[in-house]
Structure 1
Amino acid sequence: MPRPQQIFATSGLLTPPPGWPARRLSPLIEHAISLTGAASARVCYVPTAVGDDPSRVAAFVDAFAGTPHTVSHLSLFPQPSVADVRAHLLSQDLIWVSGGSVVNLLAVWRAHRLPEILRECWEAGVVLAGGSAGSICWHVGGSTDSFSDELDPVTDALAFLPYSNGVHHDFPDQPRREKLHGYIGSGLLPDGYATDDGTGLHYVGTELVEAVTLLESADAYRVELTAAGVVERPLGARLLRP
């Protein structure tokens, strides 16, 4: 039976929040693994958005110690870390993309022709996932601090999902909610979805089927332009429990 096309797009909080048992693997990553249906999943970490920082790669790999899963990574600097990028990614159950600079991520991916490969992976049933930049990348775009703290628009993401995407929607020190509303209101970005930190959006095909969160205070939102202006509707994200 063909595997469904799935994307799990999240905002931050990749360490267990208070009340969760002490462990090193993020509950959001665990949830993404559960979507694969594999008891022993093959997981590939793609840290392009942080410049393939070796310390981030080491921390991600270390988090899987003691789990039944097999973890690898795809670095692109100074050249791809695997001999056959397409074959490696297609052999995975889950591809997890790090946060960081979504603008740099998109530029480097396009130079290496990754968008076509990632679409093939998605269509083959490999779960695509990530946080922050690793969330925006699957959508049409969103607001980003890749250029500066001004939260400029990025409008040329991969668009596997035909929506805008707001991440860290409840971030207290940046007007992320206001910026996303403004870009949707001006028509620069299409209607879309936003997530507070600790929250993820689960898509099957291009349809949102569920929002989940690690925090009782967090939620996900549908944000759309109506005749009355931009309207934001809470989705009532399901609380994940330890």
Structure 2
Amino acid sequence: MTRTPTVLATSGGFSYDARGTLRPAGLAQLALRLTGADRPKLCFLPTASGDSVNYVQLTYAAFAGWSVDVSHLSLFPMPNVEDIRAHVLAQDVLWVGGGSVAGLLAMWRLHGVDDVMREAWEAGVVLAGVSAGSICWHAGGPTDSFGPMLRAVTDGLALLPYGNGVHYDSEEQRRPLLHHMVADGELPASYATDDGAGLLYRGTELAGVYAEKDGARGYLVEAAGGEAKETVLDPQPAP
């Protein structure tokens, strides 16, 4: 059955327990529920972290005991699967980790993952992720890919025709740069998330804002008379 193209773009998804173990939080659980599968197949993509082995191991461990079949797709030093397209399209949900969105986009284009992602999105595979794994689905947004002073990235996959801001409440450069980019027309109207919030898109339309943490919100930033107008989007609780 063909499913509606779905993206869950977040500034969250996982948390650490008292023993320092990574655990799926509300937004990651929501991504799994969106698949409608009793035992979903989840592929983790750590491209933005340079395919950090530690990040991969933590993610597998996070789902220990869960009714989830976990795999991963690494591109360094070579793809870890024989057929990237077949592996991606066989999944129910793709979770993209944080790190360098500029590096992620470059590597995906080098290996043709960008085209495969569009195909997966059109086929109804749930595309999800955090930080770089949120910005990548959009036209672009503020990034620290180039250094501690944030810069703009404007060559996202643009499956969603909006800009995107992440870590909106925790990193002070994020909000003003997104406002500047939208006001100047460098980005189209944009959606942003506080830490612990996520944006659910059905097709190319925002279908809801969800939060796994009290006080986390979403935002719409639009150009208005050469300035940026920000609208707060109150969330529903993530499961």
For Structure 1 versus Structure 2, the TM-score category normalised by the shorter chain is over 0.9
- Could you list the structure 1 runs, at least 4 aligned residues long, displaced by more than 2 angstroms after superposition: 22-27
In structure 1, distance between residues paired with 2:161 and 2:238: 27
Alignment counterpart, residue 173 of structure 2, candidates 166, 172, 175? 175
Q: Secondary structure at the match of 2:48?
A: helix
* Matched letter for residue 197 of structure 2: T
How do residues 47-66 of structure 1 correspond to structure 2 at under 5 angstroms? 47-66=46-65
| Matching of residue 4 in structure 1 with residue 8 in structure 2 | no
**TM-score, normalised on structure 2?**
0.95
| Structure-2 residue corresponding to 1:102 | 101
Contact 2:14 / 2:23 at 8 angstroms: preserved in 1?
A: no
Stretches of structure 2 lacking an aligned partner (at least 5 in a row): none
Identity level (%) = 50
CA displacement 1:107-150 (0-9 Å, x = unmatched)? 11110011111100110110000000000000000000110111
Unaligned segments of structure 1, at least 5 residues: none
Counterpart position of 1:147: 146
Name which of structure 1's ranges 132-141 and 186-195 shifts more when overlaid on structure 2.
Answer: 186-195
Aligned to 1:203: 201
Query: Residue type of the partner of 2:206?
Result: L
Taking the aligned partners of 1:174 and 1:204, their CA distance within structure 2 comes to 30
* Aligned residue in 2 for 1:240: 238
Query: Is the Cα–Cα contact under 8 Å of residues 162 and 188 in structure 2 kept in the other structure?
Result: yes
Structure 2 distance, partners of 1:39, 1:174, is: 40
Would the aligned equivalents of 1:17 and 1:214 in 2 still touch at CA under 8 Å?
A: no
- 8 Å contact kept, 1:191–1:224: yes
- Seen in structure 2, the aligned counterparts of structure 1 residues 227 and 61 have a Cα distance that, compared at 3 Å, is same
Task: Report the AA paired with residue 6 of structure 1.
Answer: T
Contact kept, 8 Å, 2:5 with 2:126, in 1: the verdict is yes
Shift of 1:228: 6.7
How many Å separate the matches in 1 of 2:206 and 2:13? 21
* Equivalent residue runs for 1:63-102 within 5 Å: 63-102=62-101
TM-score, normalised with respect to structure 1 = 0.94
Cα deviation, 1:141-183, whole Å, max 9, x if unaligned, reads: 0000110111100000100000000000001x43211110011
CA contact (8 A) 2:13 2:28 kept: no
User: Contact 1:16–1:27 (CA<8 Å) still a contact in 2?
Assistant: no
